[in-house]
Amino acid sequence: MLIRIPDVLTVDEVAKVRAVIEAATWIDGKATAGQQAAQAKLNLQVPEGSPAAVEAGDVILRALGRNAIFNSAALPFRVLPPLFNRYDTGMKFDAHVDGAIRAIPGANMRMRADVSSTLFLTPPEDYEGGELVIEDVYGSQEVKLPAGHMVIYPSTSLHKVNVITRGSRWSSFFWTQSIVKDDGRRALLYDLDLGIMETRHLLQGESHATVALASVYHNLLRHWAEL
């Protein structure tokens, strides 16, 4: 399930995050890549757990908390603190699959990566190339979104970032462990949730239909959830 989520960050929040990471020290992006991904990765990254990453990441985590689409689609159990990367001219990330298990910094805890997220921090007109290309069940999907917009997709997906031919592409990326491990089941729950919200809107409130659908939703969630 690949979902584009608009306006995760406001214009002011994008400016705040950009200001924080622009002043940060940048390191080789291979620092957080696994063995296979490191061979394919050519970018820069704000050090994981650094004050800049924590400050900018907190802005994003607060925004995720209020975003109904993200919470409905990802059904988050744990969210890894956001990381930040940068692709300058000539940089890219060849095809790879994200690592299945991630360590949570400072928590002595690990989490399963079910949902991958990329939050764009650069207007698309400021660079050429740099598309996020995701192998979806319907074929390759190219994603290049306005600043403040985000895409989420299954962490099992093969994906890459095309080479930058002009400018620089900045983004945040992170992983979510969902309370529903299976992407197909998450997709069914998301579609059902959207249907409930649309029915509630059309009927201008609760009805027997919305109550019945909500009952089905929560009983499926109860059956599939892993906590």
**Six-digit token string for 63:** 């925004």
CA distance 167 to 80: 28
pLDDT tens-digit series, residues 75-132: 999 999 999 999 999 999 999 999 999 998 888 899 999 999 999 999 999 999 999 9
Query: What percent of the chain has a predicted confidence (pLDDT) above 70?
Result: 97
The CATH number given to 3-178 is 2.60.120.620
The helix/strand/coil state of 19 is: helix
pLDDT tens-digit series, residues 200-221: 989 888 889 899 999 999 999 9
**Six-digit token string for 156:** 């099992």
H-assigned helices in the chain: 11-22, 35-40, 51-65, 68-74, 183-202, 208-224
Closest to 9 measured CA to CA, from 156, 101, 146: 146
CA distance 55 to 82: 10
**Domain segments of the chain: what residues?**
3-178, 183-224
pTM beyond 0.85: the answer is yes
Domain range 183-224, its CATH number among 4.10.860, 1.20.120, 2.60.40, 3.30.450: 4.10.860
For residue 27, name the pLDDT band (cuts at 50, 70, 90): very high
Provide the residue type at 20 as one letter: V
